[in-house]
Structure 1
Amino acid sequence: MDSKGLVAHAEVVKYSRTNSLLLQDLVAAEEPLQIRLEFEKAGSWYKKDLLVTMRSPGDDFDLAMGFLFSEGIVREEKDILLMRYCRQVREEEKGNVLLVRLAPNPEIDLAELNRNFYTHSSCGVCGKTAIDAVQCRALRLEDDPDWQIDPDTLMALPHALKEHQTGFKYTGGLHAAVLYDARGKIQLIREDVGRHNALDKLIGAALTGSIALERRKIVLLSGRVSFEMVQKAANAQIPVLVAFGAPTSLAANLARSKNLTLVGFLKQDAFNVYSGQERIKQWVKKSLK
């Protein structure tokens, strides 16, 4: 199986009630990516194997940038001196080990880097070694009383996505994270087998492409919303996070505490608002009884 991209080829046997056929099919590619850090501290250089994550190959630099930003290790693109794939690796590791050299930073916390960041494509927070590590230091988002989103704009987001999510179109096995402007126009999209990876890739691409995530931006997620997805959005100061799936209780609580608008169960004719409803225009105001 060739898997050096979002999509890979695979032989499948397709069964029906009448026969079975051997076919060539397309599946979502998945391979491990290891991120290695090089950084200077008090005049000495250190190396640290930071993360192994199962991801869809492609946009790896965006993934690394977004992950390091979400974890508070970097704050902007200039905090990274270089990023390249390691050359002295085994054949099967080529293209799957990424070296990131950080600019000198006296504030870098070695103890913070010693957390265990082993994750896989469907999980992020479980890679932390202690409950104390599961926290969000992001600033509370500011109010923007002059901006309200028309509900029709939100309900139109899935239609626009279908035209751009090419990996999912061919495999049915990739998550997407999509950045929209205030009018619902797509600005960026990233796909991955992992929900967390897709969002990290999107954040990383926005940072390196000088696209401001804060102030009247909408991010759409193709799956459910966990605590860590809201944490990443809050760290990037994304004001509106929308998803096809459901949020968890921790995700909703964190969104409320950070003044982030959280929308779940998005459909073409309905959605639920769990936090920050003041950013969405009200059609009819009804009190719950």
Structure 2
Amino acid sequence: MPGTSTHDAEATPMNPLPSPRTSVRGRLGHLIFSRVAGPDGPGLRARIHDTPGPRWFGPERPVRRVHGDAAMFIGGLSALLLQSLHPQAMAAVAAHSGFRGDPWGRLQRTSAFLAVTTFGTSDSAYEACARVRAVHERVRGATSDGQPYAASDPHLLGWVHTAEVDSFLRAHQLYGARPLDDEGCDAYVADTARIALALGVRRPPTTRAELAERMAAYRGELRVTPEARSTARFLLLHPPLPLLARPPYGAIAAGAVALLPTWAARALRLPRLPLAEDLCVRPLGTAVTAAIRWAMPPPPAVAGP
């Protein structure tokens, strides 16, 4: 994916919005932005994009294109579903994340982290990773059947990273404004490895082939727990959204399910109808992501390293 310009950074939870306008486009963009960025969104936007200094990733890097595209809405939801299949990771989320009580707050914190590490200064990226590692050190416990877990465990962190990167890349290749070529896909995985290392992941994958190998290596540890199925129901059927937002969210949710590997969807008892996916799910996902891009213009130009 060589040749990324600052205008390739499309609308996502990571790419904040200019000041609200009186147009339909402006109101819609402001509504989306306020949900995913929170009350400090404008201030965070300014700090990320206006602060001078070296960045981890230059404007040509694939990670900026992927994390700056509206396809992340579908990829992010699919990643949560996939990550839930590791019992220890799911137990840690269920016990410590508070996602049910404050789902928007969790989304906003995740969006801020991705924004800072992708577009922010190197110092800010290091600080964000350090804060996450400090939180992980305090997250410990056991699953319902007695398996201990620690959020700081490099192996568990590796699963979360693998599932996330795989989902983000799958979504971008299907719904992104400009999908990556093979070289760009490998470069994206290599870019995300830098963030993973800063979080404590050991030997993260650096190519798409390595990503697939790592996913296969975790398969024997994955299984569905009651917490995983409950989480899937919450995310797909009972999101904390007003009625008017349910139809577009439904398109995002359907896209997220269709994005899952077949074995993962089957494990979560989520329906997969290939014909319906081709005729309905993908066109709807494409339409929704296009609408988000329209509503949320690209962020201001950001400096490279």
Same fold by TM-score greater than 0.5: no
Which structure is higher in helix share?
2
Greater Rg, structure 1 or structure 2? Answer: 1
Task: Give the TM-score, by structure 1 length.
Answer: 0.30
Answer 1 or 2: higher relative contact order, Cα 8 Å, separation at least 6.
2
Which structure is higher in strand share?
1
Task: Give the TM-score, by structure 2 length.
Answer: 0.29
